[in-house]
Amino acid sequence: MAPPSPPSWLDDVAWDERGLAPAIAQEAGSKDVLMVAWMNREALLQTWARGQAVYWSRSRQRLWHKGEESGHVQTVQDIRLDCDRDVILLTVRQEGQPSGPGVACHTGRHSCFFRQLDGDGWATVEPVLVDPERVYK
């Protein structure tokens, strides 16, 4: 028996020459932009099917289920495509460990956008909430 055909809406995304599209993860409640990552067809399909964010890791060259090492998963509430069909927006609930806050950034911060241009340089304006040595291998 042949596997089921992938949903036709995957063809509506304007994937780049590598078969990727940037994906923005935005927190549902605060509307904070948590991170930007990459998705391929399989990552988007798995995200839709699981209800949790799955990305394509360019450095590891494999699918990456957000939270697979840290436990800080992103539960997806909404998936949108921009007007040019080349950027994916995920509205997520950032989940943490039972004993602490949810963090999206591998530095242990809530958001990857923790640096702010301040005059002549970048100032760190968000605290580390979780020791990254404890949650990432």
- Write the pLDDT tens digit of every residue in 104-118: 999 999 999 999 999
CA distance 40 to 55: 7
- Write the pLDDT tens digit of every residue in 4-46: 788 999 999 999 999 999 999 999 999 999 999 999 999 999 9
- Write the pLDDT tens digit of every residue in 44-100: 999 999 999 999 999 999 999 998 888 899 999 999 999 999 999 999 999 986 666
Catalogue all structural domains in the chain, each as residue range(s) with its CATH number.
8-98 (3.10.20.810)
pLDDT greater than 70 at residue 137: no
Which residues neighbour 48 within 8 Å (Cβ) at sequence distance 6 or greater? 7, 76, 79
CA distance 115 to 121: 9
